[in-house]
Amino acid sequence: MLEDARAGWVITTRSASDRLPSSGCAQDTATVSTDLLVLNRSGTVTVIAAPAPGLDDRLLEDRLVSANPVGLAYIIYTSGSTGRPKGINVQHKAITALMHHVYPSVRKDGRLLQTGHPVFDAVTFEYWLPLCFGGSLILPQDQMLQASTIREAAGSCLIDTLWLTSGLFSSIVKQDVTVFSVVRMVLVGGDFIDRKAVAQLNTLDQPPVLLNGYGPTETTTFAVVGPIPFSRAVDTILLGKPLMNVRIAIVDSVINLAPIGVCGEL
Integer Rg of the chain from CA? 22
The pLDDT value given to residue 79: 73
Walk along the chain (266 residues) and give the pLDDT tens digit of each residue.
777 777 788 888 888 888 877 655 544 445 557 788 888 888 887 877 777 666 666 566 666 777 789 998 988 888 766 777 888 999 999 998 888 877 666 777 889 999 988 888 888 989 998 888 888 999 988 788 899 999 999 889 999 999 999 999 999 999 999 999 999 999 998 888 998 899 899 899 989 999 999 988 888 988 999 898 876 556 778 888 898 888 899 999 999 999 999 999 98
Which segments within 145-249 are labelled E, that is strand?
161-165, 185-189, 209-214, 224-227, 241-242
Cα–Cα–Cα angle for 68, 189, 140, rounded to 5 degrees: 75
pLDDT of residue 14: 86
Give the C-alpha separation, 82 to 116, whole Å: 25
Predicted local confidence at residue 26, as pLDDT: 47
Check residue 57 and give its pLDDT. 62
91-242 folds as: Rossmann fold (3.40.50)
Where residue 160 falls (left for φ over 0; alpha for ψ -120 to 50; beta otherwise) is alpha
* Positions of CATH 3.40.50.980 in the chain: 91-242
Q: Can you give the pLDDT at residue 187?
A: 92
